[in-house]
Structure 1
């Protein structure tokens, strides 16, 4: 239904379900609603769909499903429940139970649609705890031929390197990783009759007698009111790109270092819900990661260190460099002299970074800009990056001794299956590669993130709660718009996406009364 509000002059329309955001969680909820015969609209603030989900590797931590069963890896709902309880505790027990119990049914439902297909790929869980899968339990979407998506492919956000450079994606190339996940969900959703509106930034929520009945969105043509007969799902990411909100809540890092698209994740939906009395939690938290600083001031998500060592501003190591990225990011955030840090490596890689960095940038560009430096000796390298030469040389000497024996006596690098997943060395410990071949390099590392993880408090049905614990009728939240079930912990690859998908599905089922 379309019309115009006589009081405000805003254009008006009405659907059964309104979904704010277009990442993996938002599109999952939208598809669940559309497949159930509901009228649905997805409102996306930017001109492209997918948000940070489109940039991602698209690991989905959805345990105990038919995908893991097909792979024969021995995963189960109970093992995942045990793992989450061991890491997170009882504080979010109801959310954890809802998550692990609904994940198998959600994946079975999604794979009924011919547009959606997953496979298991090895990637270890991040902690040594009961219920862990050393080989990993995350599932990934299959690549999607662009021809199958047709004209809809133009709506999917380009890969992060092309997007940041202002270049479009190659229209004929298959969609892979995060873009494949968004493309598959989008295709299923549109085929089910769902609608998309880009350039619709939600700023306010509409209420009637205490119930949320729609949203106000700013568009190029002015404000629009979009009403919802059953409910509104806020799944639009966090506030990682909002400098003021980060500062107000003490989130470490910086907006310009976040991996979220620059024009997204400003936090308006969270603010709109708070204005109605919604409670919040975990507002100082994020999904952290080391980031290689780029010359333009942005950062590149960096993981999978297969060489080198990381030192602080005093030239000292302070952690196992092969830790999972959120755990390494939290080590960085623990002391002021660790941001920036420096990745010290030598020329055995030909000057290439001994790690995965997304988006990548050639070494020559970094060296020309000074975000990396190169020197013939460690003493000169130390001088160029401003750390004590004696401390840096002593640190490297000690590290090289560990590489010779295969035992990291300081931080146990190489003892964990995750450490060894990316390892490429040929010594007694493949995670410990000596740094002894001139010239030497130092790459500046800052504290990046994959998004904030604090937001609206919800119950296990994804209903948004007030401070007294009562639900706000008609209002739901999932993904980084909500406070994460995981608290300050990042249990395994794809937990942000997997939880967003499950709780978006649960939200829609609750608001529509679907089984």
Structure 2
């Protein structure tokens, strides 16, 4: 058996990301600033304030994308191809490659100026089944095991035919990336037996370093033409069938492309405030993805008659916290120049809502951080409160000492290694920075905090919580005593958080081969959807790494389905 040492695993995992442990890569991380193309750097590295979003998303509105009759659409140029892929992110990459491998001529389109502007360079790692690397080892995760795990674990919420078909191509999807030479590490190669590690494929390079490998995927597939800086303004139809797209490049040139199949995969709608509020119960989400994930693809599909699915969830960021007012707006791992108060939810501290009431078992935020989004989403804005005794300890004691065994297991070896030896000796400076940005406050009394944040129930909540800390029994949320940290010694410190997310999980309904469906369950001829634009996941998010893994797999499945539809 092939061996990977623990030292090399940790080194590689930390270089790439906080590896598999924190539920591996459910979505993109923000790459180094230099990985962004000119004109995108500022917008994509901030990721949170409305001013940095794509214009229509920043305005908090959706755009109407009328579906036009092909013959009535006007353009300066007309072309024909077998398959058009709208979006060259994670799903678009495997969709285009998959269709080309079946013999199709493919035109792939994206608003970004290159791979560095897509989520391809921002992701961490993915959960896959029966890849070429997995098959080298005994006891590899099988399709049947994965299918039964996903379906039973989600109480059969997901489209069973679709899940089965995605798992069928899952290994071949990630092999497209592996075969490019992309440096990756594999936790299953170390003999790990947990579900996350058994499917784990983790990048060892970040940002711009990935671009040559992504380009190589298409260098060996000359039948794929990549067109950057290009927006699809309309889907084109003849009768009920979609027969192409109308595009416009950055110079205003329009092209009408007739295609036998069209695949839409533009990355979901995390950057669209209006759509987030609509599908997530009025919540706000701090976006941690590409500025182009603003729902335009889904709106194109809806205006062609496609029906939204019913499952909507998120992959929450690893620290369990973000804030629109902060700069940067979120943290996913230590040592990235982010505010250290973002780490606090990992320590089991009391969490309260805007009324000052506790709303969850704080252990859950520590031991299943990325899966805690549903509780936090219900509040949209939430807070933690600590006392001077805690601040004195956290500023002088290694962070690792504040993590319970469950929290350590949640993080896994790579992210955990990132905390080893770390002392938050600058925590007071970071707190003052949060105060200056108006998302934290210090007070001598709990009453003063309650008044400042207009929390009518805070004083009583803290009294009840401290009593639970004294007795070791929490009758309110049943949080175990090891996660009960008293708030008694003034002054007191309160920090405001918003929910940070890697991507929206939920989109257009499809059949088992990713053909877009209408409200009455009929397929829209020639139209396919995959990645975060499709209804692939459950509520809540279940299997770590499936955020990215299902994007890759659904892309390949859509590409091959579109190729078959095109007669290949």
The TM-score normalised by the length of structure 1 is 0.73
The 1:239–1:107 alpha-carbon spacing in structure 2 relative to 1, beyond 3 Å, is closer
The structural deviation recorded for 1:476 is 0.8
Aligned to 1:466: 518
The structural deviation recorded for 1:502 is 0.8
The structural deviation recorded for 1:382 is 4.1
Q: Which has the higher contact order (CA 8 A, sep 6+)?
A: 2
The 1:389–1:222 alpha-carbon spacing in structure 2 relative to 1, beyond 3 Å, is closer
The 1:108–1:27 alpha-carbon spacing in structure 2 relative to 1, beyond 3 Å, is closer
Other structure's SS at 2:544 match: coil
RMSD: 3.9
CA contact 1:46–1:201 (8 Å) conserved in 2: no
Higher helix share: 2
Aligned to 1:189: 218
Aligned to 1:94: 161
CA distance in 1, matches of 2:323, 2:559: 40
CA distance in 1, matches of 2:385, 2:135: 42
Aligned to 1:309: 350
CA contact 1:87–1:491 (8 Å) conserved in 2: yes
Q: How does 1:258-407 map to 2 (within 5 A)?
A: 258-261=287-290, 263-282=291-310, 286-287=314-315, 290-295=320-325, 299-300=329-330, 305-321=346-362, 322-323=364-365, 324-325=368-369, 327-334=371-378, 338-345=379-386, 346-347=390-391, 348-350=393-395, 362-376=430-444, 378-387=446-455, 388=457, 390-398=459-467, 400-401=469-470
Of residues 439, 447, 455, the one that matches 2:499 is 447
The 1:389–1:280 alpha-carbon spacing in structure 2 relative to 1, beyond 3 Å, is closer
CA contact 2:323–2:500 (8 Å) conserved in 1: no
CA distance in 2, matches of 1:252, 1:325: 22
The structural deviation recorded for 1:6 is 10
Of residues 492, 495, 503, the one that matches 2:554 is 503
The 1:226–1:61 alpha-carbon spacing in structure 2 relative to 1, beyond 3 Å, is farther
CA contact 1:252–1:333 (8 Å) conserved in 2: no
Other structure's SS at 1:30 match: helix
C-alpha distance after superposition, 1:119-138 (max 9, x if no partner): 3348xxxxxxxxx9365444
Of residues 105, 109, 115, the one that matches 1:49 is 115
CA distance in 2, matches of 1:90, 1:283: 12
CA contact 1:67–1:119 (8 Å) conserved in 2: no
The 1:339–1:116 alpha-carbon spacing in structure 2 relative to 1, beyond 3 Å, is closer
The structural deviation recorded for 1:455 is 2.4
Other structure's SS at 1:467 match: coil
CA distance in 1, matches of 2:539, 2:553: 19
The structural deviation recorded for 1:294 is 3.7
Structure 1 alignment gaps of length 5 or more: 123-131, 145-174, 415-427
The 1:33–1:79 alpha-carbon spacing in structure 2 relative to 1, beyond 3 Å, is same
The 1:301–1:142 alpha-carbon spacing in structure 2 relative to 1, beyond 3 Å, is closer
CA distance in 1, matches of 2:210, 2:139: 22
The 1:412–1:452 alpha-carbon spacing in structure 2 relative to 1, beyond 3 Å, is same
C-alpha distance after superposition, 1:103-157 (max 9, x if no partner): 133334543x2423543348xxxxxxxxx9365444234324xxxxxxxxxxxxx
The TM-score normalised by the length of structure 2 is 0.67
Structure 2 alignment gaps of length 5 or more: 1-70, 333-342, 404-410, 416-426
Aligned to 1:142: 203
